[in-house]
Each structure stands twice: as structure tokens, then as C-alpha cells.
Chains A and B, each alone.
Chain A
């Protein structure tokens, strides 16, 4: 309730909107390229192997299952960690080393509530939706490769695509993406708030944010998979 009231308050709503725009819309370009090529690579690699057995028509299943379960949330997490997470860390670190955070505290403004919450709210909303976008583009990229490189008809590709995917796969993937979003914002803000030693500290915080986010996303991704599929 507190979080909802926070988001809906007029001042914070504008900040959340800005963060939604930065996190979501500004990431679409790079995410589109990554998603499409991930789907195309998956389709090509899987299709070339399956073609040896005359089963290339099943690439729709392979691409969709892999994208929805793992690669969609994982690649979205990596891209957002590398772009948005790094930006958040750099911004927080700069504010820390220039003592803007301290100034906020002097003014009795909670920096977590003022700086972290809009980013966290935006990330919680945007990460699952960006993952849906990644999934769609990945599946479409696979379809293009299947049609042009492997001679798989589009109806056959899409029939196979939905053959073995369940709603559970989709929503577990979205849940992963949401958790990845929390990880990215938390790590970035924590590293930013702990920055020191001027510009060098900003660089260190940014680098460590990306590295820690990547490793945490991998580990947490495995744990969530194990939690839901074993």
C-alpha cells in the first residue's frame, strides 16, 4: 500500500514515468537487436543439427521454449544491467562522491525513497514487459531464419512453437525478469551509494555493478529454474 501510494503521488509519478521511459523505451533499440539475433542464432544452430535428422521443422519448439524459459529473461537482464544498471550506478556514485546524497539527508529527504524507489518501481514494471518484447522478437527472428535458411514454413514453425510451451513457462520467465530487475536496481544503488574517491570511485562502482549483476542474475536464474522445474 505504501509503495502504491508512493508511485501514485504526483511528484513521484513524474519521476517514475521518467524512469519507465529511461528503463523501457530507451532500451528498446539495443534490446531489439539482441533479441532478434538471439532467436536467429538459436534457430540456426538448432536447425542445422536437427536437419541431420530431417527434424528442422521442430526449431519453432526449440527456439520458443528456450526463449520463454531462459534466454528471454536472461538476455533482458544482461542488457538492462549493462545499460540501465550501469547508468543508475554511475548516477548514484556521482551523487555520492559529490555529496549530493549527503545534502539530501541534511534536508531530511530519504535518498532511498527519493532516488531508489522510482527506479525500483519502473524496473518492476518494465522488466517483465521488456521480457515479453524480447520473447516476441526472438521467436520472430527464429521464424525468419527458419523460413529463409532452413525452408521451414511459417505456419509449421508457429504450430510447433506453441506445441510444448505452457503458461507456467511464460510466467516463471516473467517472474525471473522481475527478480532480475530488483537485483539490478539493488546492486546499482548499493554500489553507487558506497562509491568514494571521486571519478575513480564512479568507474569502480559502475564496473562492479555490471559484474555483480551479471553473476547474481546467473545464480538466481539457476535457483529459480531449479525451484520451479525440479
Chain B
């Protein structure tokens, strides 16, 4: 009897434990699948759409990619459909918010995506009716895109592509035949050797420049002295250029076209030209000296005589001086 009682108790405990565990699992399943938190209040928002494209109750609601709730109720009303969203957190929507229905995959399934809007835009006042964006059907969009692409292609783009392909084929054929530089490059080893040699030379030049050899190399590798020289030269040139531009100095005045200076210069040039022409015509002493040989000879003779006179005077000067001093005593 006691054994029977123990057996019965054991049976009761086992069955009770199983019932408890199974009911607990059922409860947990129910809570998980209802997507509602027991410890956080559920907030309800109404959003109206013109059409909801087959959204069902229980579809997920995402906020910035995070599931924040589900579609709790769908009511078709006059002119629109109202969706009641059950969310586990409050929404702070700005004026340019966006609530749209998107396809989960090509095979079906939908979800609601909420974008709160830019933070620099004003917040919606409480009680503002929320309006959702009309959803886009993924397959319809794809079909329209394909049709658009086909229309574009058939509108001449396809012919252009064919033409481009034809030209490319022609170019490739020429290259294969060894025509043109590219063709010769593919056919002739000599050209390749030339290109290689040129590349090697170029590499040598570049190496020398990198080592700081030559003017260009020094220019690139110098510690700045050449640069400073060039900079100073450039500054001097700029100053000279500024002076010329501002009419400073003789050249500047000439370039700037200062009237008085030009007039003086013109008069001087005219005078010089007149003197030169007079000389060429043999006018005046200097002209005659240039054009007449006799004058030159007379002048030469006169100079000789003058020199002889001076020599005579130099020779008689002591006697004359002595005589003057001696006779002066009397």
C-alpha cells in the first residue's frame, strides 16, 4: 500500500513537472512570437497609407535597422489604410520623417521602416497624424527598370554600341596584322627593344635626377639654395618690371610714354640728325674738315708749324728769362 502510494506520488510529480515545463515553454514561445516585452510599456502609433501592398498583422517594424515593434492592426478606411504600430520605444519624428513599407525579399514578406528625419528640422508636435510613403513593389520596379533600359538601348544606344564594337574589332584586326605602332609593338621585337632602351635611358636620367646630379637634379635635391636664388631673381625681375610699369627710370619713362621726355628726346635726335647732315654736306669747319682734304692738309701743316714754334720758344726760353732778369736789374 505504501509502495503504491509512493509510486503514485512519483507519477504525480513527474506528470506535474512535465506539465509545468511544457506550459512554461508554451508561455515563453507565446511571448517571443508576440514580439512584446513584459517589462516595457507598449506604445501605439497610427500611420495611414494610401495602399499597403499586402502588409499583414505581425510584420516587423524597424527603426534605423533595429526591430522596435510590429504591425498590431490594419484597418481599411475610406481612401486610405490605417496601420496601428505597437512599438517598444517612443518615436521622435522630425518634419521630414519617412515611414515606408519595404519588401523583405524577392520571394515576399514585408516590413515597415521608420526614418526619424534630420535632427536640424523641427520635431513633430504631439498628435500630428503620421502619413506613410506608398510602398514600391520590387518586381514591378525591376520590370519597369528593365523596360526603361530596353527602350534606351533600342533608341540608338544599341547601334552606337554595335558601332563601337565594330570599330574595336577593326582596331584589334589591325593590331593583329601588325599595322600601326601598336601592331608593330606586338609584332616586331626591334620596336620593343627601342622602347626598352628608351625606358632604360629614361630610368638612368631619373636616377641621376634622384641622386641630385646635373642642374635638374640639384634643383630637385638642393637644400633650397637654388630655389632661394631663383626666388630672389624673380623678385628682382618683378621689381624691375614694376618700375618699368610705373614709369620709374629712363626706360620706364620711355615705356610709359612721358611727353616732355619724349619731346626732349625727339628734339635731341633731330638736332643730332641736322648736325650729321651738315657734316655730311661739308658745312662748317668740322664738315669741311670731314669732306675737304685741303683743309685737313692746311690744319696738319698749321699744327706742324705750331709745334715748331713751341719747340723754338722752349729752346729760347732760358736765354729770354736770363736776359729779362739781368736787364730787369737796371
A binding-site residues for B, Cβ under 8 Å? 14, 17-18, 20-21, 24-25, 28, 125, 128-130, 132-133, 135-136, 162-167, 169-170, 174
Contacts and interface: CB of A to CB of B under 8 A. Distances in A.
Chain B: interface secondary structure?
helix
B15 interface: yes
Nearest to B14: A25
Contact of A166 (B8, B26, B33): B33
Contact of A162 (B12, B22, B26, B33): B33
Interface residues of B, number: 19
Contacts of B23: 129
6 contacts: A128-B26, A133-B22, A136-B25, A167-B30, A170-B26, A170-B33
Nearest to A28: B18
Contacts of A21: 11, 14-15
B122 interface: no
B33 A165 contact: yes
B34 to A, nearest CB: 6
Interface of B: 8, 11-12, 14-15, 18-19, 22-23, 25-26, 29-30, 32-34, 58, 60, 109
A162 B8 CA distance: 39
Contact of B11 (A18, A125, A129, A135): A18
A85 B48 CA distance: 53
Contacts of A125: 19
Contacts of A174: 26
Contacts, number: 49
A199 B251 CA distance: 141
Nearest to B111: A163
A166 B26 CA distance: 13
Contacts of B34: 167
Chain A: interface secondary structure?
helix
Contacts of A169: 33
Closest 5 pairs between A and B when the two form their complex, measured CB to CB: A129-B22, A167-B33, A20-B15, A166-B58, A21-B11
Given A20-B15, A24-B15, A129-B23, A170 B29 contact: yes
A174 B14 CA distance: 22
B25 A133 contact: yes
Contacts of B33: 162, 165-167, 169-170
Contact of A170 (B12, B15, B30, B109): B30
B33 to A, nearest CB: 5
Given A132-B25, A132-B26, A25 B15 contact: yes
Given A21-B11, A28-B18, 19 more contacts: A14-B8, A17-B8, A17-B11, A20-B15, A20-B19, A24-B15, A128-B26, A129-B18, A129-B22, A129-B23, A132-B22, A133-B22, A135-B29, A164-B109, A166-B58, A167-B33, A170-B30, A170-B33, A174-B26
